Amino acid sequence: MKTILKNIMIEAWKFFRTTGKEFSECLKQAWRNFKLVQAMKKGIVKFYFTKVNGEVREAWGTLNEKFLPVISGIDKRKKNEFVQVYFDTEKQEYRCFKKLNLI
């Protein structure tokens, strides 16, 4: 539990330093992201985020292994700590969104 809270606080401070918004708003956003990831690990979840062009997108995604496709090879791309990757069950491909844009 302490590790979870620590990671949420670290995420909130990253958001705070990046955006300059009130820390309470950054903390709420960190909690939203945490709860979404936990829900996606359990099953398929409907959520919304703002795209880069300002458009709001409805997404159905998951991180649950029983819904993920089998991937051959290792992904050697550098991880971006400000982006959340998920498997879009409607498009049947991996997608991502900026964590700060989660609604």
Angle, CA 31 vertex, CA 25 and CA 34 arms, to 5°: 145
pLDDT at 70 (0 to 100): 80
**Tens digit of pLDDT per residue, the chain (103 long)?**
789 999 999 999 999 999 999 999 999 999 999 999 999 999 999 999 999 999 999 999 999 999 988 876 667 778 889 999 999 999 999 999 999 999 9
Beta pairing class for 83-88 and 93-98: antiparallel
Strand boundaries in the chain, DSSP class E? 45-50, 56-62, 83-88, 93-98
- Alpha carbons 72 and 102: distance in angstroms, whole number: 30
